[in-house]
Chains A and B, each alone.
Chain A
Amino acid sequence: MGYSDINSTLSSGHYYFSGNEAVAEGAIAAGCRYYAGYPITPSSEIMERISVRFKDVHGVFMQMEDEIASICSVIGAVWAGAKAMTATSGPGFSLMQEGIGYAALTETPLVIVNIQRAGPGTGQATRVASGDLMQAKWGSHGDYYIIALSPWSVQEMYDQTINAFNLAEQYRVPVFVMGDEAIGHLRERVEVKAILKVFNRKKKKGAPPFGANQNNGIPPMPSFGEGEKLLVTGSTHNEIGIRKTDDPEVHSRLVNRINEKILNNRDRITRTDSYHLEDAEVIIVSYGFTARSALFAIEQLRKEGKRVGLIRLKTIWPFADKIIKDVGQKAKTIFVPEMNRGQIIGEVMKYANCEVIPYNQTNGEIIHPHRIINGVRRLL
C-alpha cells in the first residue's frame, strides 16, 4: 500500500505509439484491470487497444451500451477492488457527468480520459479543441473537486495516465486525462522504463470508509467481498456510509472534506514546466497541444532577443495559482492562447496582477506557432 516500485508489463525500451495507444499502455502499466467504454471519435483507439492488450494481463474489458453505463460499471468495478478507467470524447463526457459527481461524493478512485474534439453538440468529431476544461471541473451538479491533467506529447499520454491512476488512488478522487484529437492521433517515440512507481489504495480493516477525522482527509478504502459489509451511497452519508439526508452538519462536513482533501494538497498535485521566466516581459501560459506551438514560438522570439517566457500547465485542476500569482507580479503581460473561447484565461486573471491577453481559436485546428508569435509581437 502506498507507493511501490513495480516492473513494467511492457518490456522497457522505445516504442512508436499514437497518443491513444500510449494511454492504453500507461493504464495497463499503472495496474488498470477493468475498462468499460463506448465507441466515440476521436478516442476509440484507446478502447480497441485495451480490448486486445487486456488478454495479456487478464484484465476485464467491457464495451457497454452507452457512456452512462461505462462510467457506472467502472465505479462498480472499483468498489469490487479494481483499478479502472474509461475513455471518451465530448458528447460521451457530457453523458458521464452524473456518474462523475457520484464518484466524487463516494470518493471512488478512477480515471477518465477525454480526447477532446470540437464542440458543442456533435460539433466536428474528427477535429481538435480544448473546450472541455471547465466542464471537467464543473460538469456535475454540486460542489466537488477533481484532478485534471493536460498532456502535451505522446510520452506524456503514457506518463500522465500512470500519474492519473496514482493520484486517483492516493486521493480517492476521479482524475481526468484531458487529451485532445491532435495528441490522441499524433505518433511519437515513447520511452517505457523497466521500473515504475505505482500507488495502491490504502486499506485498514474496520476503519470507516468515509471517515471524517483522518489527518489528511483521505480515508482508507475497502472493497466488496472483504466482509466489511459496506454501505456505498450517492446520498449524503456519515463516516460509515449511513444515509443522512437531512443533517446539515453531516452534509457540510462531507462536502467540505471532499473538496479540501484535494485543495489542501494542491502543492503536491499541481505541476508546471517553466521556460525563460527569468527576465520575461511577456509570459505565455499554455497547456496541452497548444503549449508545443507556444514553446516553438518563444524559442523563435528569443532568437530575436525578445524577452518572452512560457509556463506550461501540466495540471489544469487544481489550478497552478501560486506560480501565476508570482509571475503576475513581475511580468508586464501574460498571453493565453487556447483552442476554446477563453476558459483557463479566467483562472489566470483570478491570480495574475498584470495585463492578461487572450488568443482564442475555435475552428477545429491547432494554433500554429506563427499565430502565437504574431500575437506576442504586438505586446512587446
Chain B
Amino acid sequence: MARDLEEYLRPGLDSTPFCPGCGHGILMNLILRAIDELKLSMDEMLFVSGIGCAAWIPSPHFNADTLHTLHGRAIAFATGAKLFNPKLNVMVISGDGDLTSIGGNHLIHAARRNIDLSVICANNMIYGMTGGQVASTSPLGAFTSTSMDGNIYRPFDLCKLVLGAGAPYVARYSVTQPLLLVSAIKKSLSIQGFTFIEVLSPCHTQFGRRNRYDSPADMLKALMESCISKEEAEYLTKEELKNKIITGEFNDGGS
C-alpha cells in the first residue's frame, strides 16, 4: 500500500491477511484513495462488513469506526446505524456470498428503500475463506470444491439485480480498472441514497488454482481481457459477448 495513505490505517497493524494474488489489497487501496481524494474525515466514517475475506478489508485495518457483523447481515446492521445517526457516512464492504447469497434479501430491500449506504461488493466468484465452494456468482462450468464437475447453475448478474430493486447508482469494475474504480467509489460516497459497486477481485488461492490459471498474474491478465466497457459491448454480437464481463456505470445517479 502506498505510504501516503498510511494515516487511514489503524496503527499497530503491520500486514493484511490476504493471500498472494488476492485482489482485495488493491481494492483496499482504491477505497482509501477515493476517501483521500474527497477529503472525508475518518471520524465520520463507519465501515460495516459481514463475514468472509472481503469483510476483513475494513476490519480492523481502517482507522475509523468499524462494525464486523454476522454473515450476510452487514446491510441490516448498517441500516440501523445510519438511520439512527444520519451524520455517519456509512460504507458497507463485503463479499459476493455475504451480500448477495445469504444476505440477498437485505441487499434488495435496502436498495428498494434507497437507504443512504455505499455498498461495495468484492466479487471473487467463490467462497474463499471456507475453502472454495461454489457461489451464486460462480460462472457456469467453474470448478470449485463443491462443483468438481463444473458449476451447473447460472450466476447472478448482481448489477441487474440491484438495479431492478431500484438503486439510483450501480456500477461494476474490476480491480484491473483502478482509475475508473476510484472515480466510481467517489461517486458512490457523494450520492445521497443507496449505491452499489460490484468489484471483480480475483481469488487465485481458491478459484484460480482450480480453474487452470497457473499464477495470480494469469488471473489478472484474464480479467483484463474479459472486462470490457458497456460502450464496447454495444458493438459485439451475442457470441462475442460470451465470457465477457461488461463494466461501467449502469445508472449514473441521475434518476
Contact = CB atoms under 8 A, between A and B. Distances in A.
A76 B65 contact: no
B55 to A, nearest CB: 10
B75 to A, nearest CB: 8
Contacts of B69: 72, 75-76, 102, 234
Given A224-B81, A230-B66, A242 B60 contact: yes
B105 A80 contact: no
B90 to A, nearest CB: 9
B68 A233 contact: yes
Given A229-B63, A241-B60, A73 B70 contact: no
Contacts of B88: 80, 224-225
Given A72-B76, A76-B69, 20 more contacts: A34-B80, A69-B79, A69-B106, A72-B69, A73-B80, A76-B78, A76-B81, A76-B82, A78-B80, A79-B67, A80-B82, A80-B85, A84-B84, A224-B85, A228-B65, A229-B42, A229-B63, A229-B66, A231-B68, A234-B70
Interface residues of A, number: 41
A33 B73 contact: no
Contact of A231 (B43, B66, B80): B66
Residue in A33, A68, A76, A224 whose Cβ sees the most chain B Cβ within 10 Å: A76
B214 interface: no
A98 interface: yes
B46 interface: yes
Interface residues on B, range: 20 to 34
A225 B46 contact: yes
A80 B42 CA distance: 15
Contacts of B105: 65-66, 69
B73 A69 contact: yes
A75 B60 contact: no
Given A65-B106, A224-B88, A234 B81 contact: no
Contacts of A73: 76-77, 79-80, 83
B212 interface: no
Contacts of B210: none
B211 to A, nearest CB: 29
B44 interface: yes
B77 A76 contact: yes
Given A60-B83, A81-B85, A231-B59, A76 B43 contact: no
B48 interface: yes
26 contacts: A65-B105, A65-B106, A66-B105, A69-B105, A73-B76, A73-B83, A75-B80, A76-B48, A76-B84, A77-B81, A79-B81, A80-B46, A81-B85, A82-B80, A84-B80, A225-B43, A225-B44, A225-B88, A228-B65, A229-B10, A229-B64, A229-B65, A232-B67, A233-B60, A234-B70, A243-B59
